[in-house]
Amino acid sequence: LATLLPGQLEDSITFSVQVISISKLKHYDYMAVSYAWDFSTPGDVNINMAPQHGSKDLWGRETQSLFIWPHASDAIRHIHRKDTVVTVWINGLCIDVANGDEKLAQSQNYAPIFAHARRVDVWIG
């Protein structure tokens, strides 16, 4: 799950990540977001991962930035709040969508991810 830290709509998006077992998702209050895939070059939009556990991101890269699809960024900007954190599952943040094997493996978990969400939003651009 990704926790979006508070900020203005035009601010750079900053988030932190928790790795949660699928079997434990029902104990978390989060929203799930589905968005229309676009055909832009992946990596068009840069967002910031809040430092935690050293300086590596989920995929072991020495960075605090993550490049995501523009439609994923648009969806995140519209659920982002200026005064409170928002916990969300969105594949653009929660899986490495550039890795075909991981994307395929994680797609098997979509049903329980969406079923246990407090709310599901669909972003069509």
Per-residue pLDDT of the chain (125 residues; tens, 9 = 90+): 988 888 877 777 778 888 889 999 999 999 999 887 766 655 545 566 665 555 555 555 544 566 677 788 888 888 889 899 999 998 878 887 778 898 888 889 999 999 999 999 998 87
DSSP 62: B
pLDDT score for 46 = 57
pLDDT score for 84 = 92
pLDDT score for 77 = 84
Q: Is 43 left (phi over 0), alpha (psi -120 to 50) or beta?
A: left
pLDDT score for 99 = 80
pLDDT score for 42 = 56
pLDDT score for 118 = 96
The pTM score is 0.75
pLDDT score for 27 = 94
> How much of the chain is helix, strand and coil, in % rounded to 5?
30, 25, 45
Domain spans in the chain, listed from the N-terminal domain onward: 2-123
Cα-based distances in Å from 30 to 64, 87, 98, 118 = 23, 5, 24, 6
pLDDT score for 33 = 93
